Chain A
Amino acid sequence: MGSLAHVLAPLAQIDDSFFKDRSESDCISDNGTFCASWAVDNIDRYIGPALEHIVLVAVSVVAGFAIALALAVLSHRRRWLMPPLTAATGILYTIPSIAFFFLLLPITGRGNLTAVIALTAYTLQILYRNIIAGLANVPAETKDAGRGMGMSDRQLMWRVEIPLAMPEIIAGLRIATVSTVAIATLAVFAGGDGLGSELVGSNITFKTGVIIAGGMAIIIAITFDLLLVLAQRLLAPWRKVRPV
């Protein structure tokens, strides 16, 4: 625990301006549930971390998706790779996030890189499993027809199998993204940016700050989710059609 305190100490440095603001209002000194006037005056300080948070999540999910897709495509035609890959991504997912950060610190040091590596690793399990499930659900006769008309394995993969797996792939992306938005608030322990620095870094006991930062994380998660629903509509229009 000594080492944890050591690591956290610089993060938890008290921000003078933070408390200066607090002392100016009764709500702040009483630490009321939500100090609206403080929120209005200080909303600016959350914009930067919120943007950082978005970038952190986007980079991690995109990287995780690229890796998971590559692994899925690789193991789709080499079935024997599937159990070890499923196990490996599963094990990564079971590592507690803070422990993961500390495991990486000696290698990659403090900073966003460490945070991104850990966050990326967490997305792999969900994304890999969903892509594999999506590919497995492509009807055998559709593949047979594609192959029988002269599609190469690669053409079949990119023109038929992946487009048809899109609903499952996007379902996986939605879960992975929303959970990454949540886990990314812990990136602060790895020295990363994001809303975590406002939640944990400033003062976890100040309710208004927690509500603003937490609320922003929720809004970010919902926005990402809606964007992915929209992407699903655009990428899989055939799922929405009504039989005539």
Chain B
Amino acid sequence: MGEAESIATAEGSAQALPVSFDAVTKRYAGAEQAAVDGLSLEVGAGEICVLVGPSGCGKTTAMRMVNRMVEMTEGDIRVGGTSVRDRTPAELRREIGYVIQQIGLFPHRTIADNIATVPGLLGWPAERSVARASELLSLIGLDPELADRYPSQLSGGQQQRVGVARALAADPGLMLMDEPFGAVDPINRERLQNEFLRLQAELRKTILFVTHDIDEAIKMGDRIAVLQQGGKVAQYATPAELLMAPADDFVEDFVGADRALKRLALLRVADIDLWEAPLAHVGQATTEVRAKLEGAEVPHALVVDSDRRPLGWLSDADLRNDLVPARPDVAADPIIDRDDVMRDALSDLLQAETQYGPVVDRDGRIAGILSVEIISEFLSSRDALEEEHEAVDRPLG
């Protein structure tokens, strides 16, 4: 079994486990208010559920009760249908991945040994642990040469990746992540988030993700639970629902005034209908191009090469020549990828101070034109959606 099994599990064959909080309460001795008061929440298998809220809302306490790092006072939490109280804390924790903001790598152990922590506790044979560690290193995109290094020799971003790999080592059906990217600089955070989403698309773990950052919640979450003081769920909804129809003033405040713009972060360029521009081929007669420009959606002609890759926009001066040049006057910048997030695409357009950006597919071939106008139309149609959703999304009670 050994290696074959561990490789199979890396592809996500381990069963993702649903989690359910049933009226969970945590009261600390001597505290007047409960830290978490009657929290009920269902997290579907294979989903990223983000617990988000201001500091002191009990989100971390709620998460830590799942692996019994904090013992609940009342209620029950079930992971994969079994109460967390049915196992000893140590047994339970070995079945649940655990990532914290401060990472907490063991400074005295090599990267490979750090990753193999839980396999070691579970008594895996050494060869299998070693194989698993190197497999995970490549899964998280780290050089296998780093296996024998110590944590202090890695950058913060690399350490955080190792922290994630370590949590994945025994292929748990559930991962708890407490502000996992909170201590990383903004550029690296963005990169780590994207990497993690890509990984999750493959692994399909159930993930309980705690953050105080609503933007991160919107980006990472399949569903978001907005918590307020005492671990009360103000709203539990998908990111789009949360942005379109905040349940109350608290959620609306927390989500922020720029929620229209935040919706753009949820959307990829491929998700909306693009415009078409008249295409011109190198060496084509400009008279043909001028004919195409009549009544076109985009009032400029885009020059493409023989593989339909954009080369640039034809200027009026270009059009006065007889033939379409190989190097048009106006560069095609910015070239937008169909998989780009809409917010980034808009930012690219604004930065380049242009109305139109050619959108290309994975092979760099033209797929359409994105314009600032398309985006603003999309944003204004949001209001209609909001009306529609408002009644539906209010939580019961």
Contacts and interface: CB of A to CB of B under 8 A. Distances in A.
A234 interface: no
B266 to A, nearest CB: 31
B67 interface: yes
Contacts of B98: 145, 148-149
A243 B155 CA distance: 9
Contacts of B36: none
B121 interface: yes
B150 to A, nearest CB: 4
Given A241-B152, A244-B149, A244-B153, A149 B121 contact: yes
A241 B90 CA distance: 32
Nearest to B121: A150
Interface in A199-223: none
B117 interface: yes
B103 interface: yes
Contact of A238 (B69, B90, B150, B167): B150
B100 interface: yes
Contacts of B150: 237-238, 241
Given A163-B108, A244-B149, A148 B100 contact: yes
Given A155-B121, A238-B152, A243-B152, A148 B106 contact: no
Given A150-B94, A241-B150, A141 B121 contact: no
Contact of B90 (A152, A236, A237, A243): A152
Interface in B329-388: none
Interface string B196-235: 0000000000000000000000000000000000000000
Q: Which of A144, A146, A150 has the most CB of B within 10 A?
A: A150
Contacts of B105: 142, 145
A242 B67 CA distance: 36
A165 to B, nearest CB: 10
Contact of A150 (B92, B106, B153): B92
Contacts of B106: 142, 145-146, 160, 164
A152 B267 CA distance: 45
B107 interface: yes
A122 B308 CA distance: 85
Nearest to B92: A150
A151 interface: yes
B283 interface: no
Q: Which of A142, A148, A151 has the most CB of B within 10 A?
A: A148
A106 interface: no
A151 B121 CA distance: 7
B237 interface: no
A139 interface: yes
A139 B121 contact: no
Interface string B89-105: 11111100010101111
A148 B67 contact: yes
A147 interface: yes
B19 interface: no
Interface in B61-119: 67, 69, 89-94, 98, 100, 102-109, 117-118
A237 B148 CA distance: 12
Contacts of B67: 148
A147 B106 CA distance: 12
A147 B118 CA distance: 11
Contacts of B93: 147-150
Nearest to B146: A244
B341 to A, nearest CB: 32
Contacts of A141: 100, 102-104
A146 B121 CA distance: 11
Nearest to B154: A244
A146 B153 CA distance: 20
Nearest to A143: B104
Nearest to A165: B108
B108 A164 contact: yes
A236 B92 CA distance: 31
Contacts of A238: 107-109, 150, 152
Q: Which of B67, B90, B105 has the most CB of A within 10 A?
A: B90
Q: Which of B106, B149, B153 has the most CB of A within 10 A?
A: B106
Interface string A224-244: 000000000000111001111
Given A142-B105, A238-B152, 10 more contacts: A139-B102, A141-B100, A142-B106, A145-B104, A146-B104, A150-B89, A155-B121, A166-B108, A241-B149, A244-B153
Closest A-B pairs by Cβ, 9 of them: A145-B104, A150-B94, A141-B102, A150-B93, A148-B98, A141-B104, A238-B150, A150-B90, A163-B108
9 contacts: A141-B100, A141-B103, A142-B107, A144-B69, A145-B105, A146-B104, A148-B176, A150-B91, A241-B153
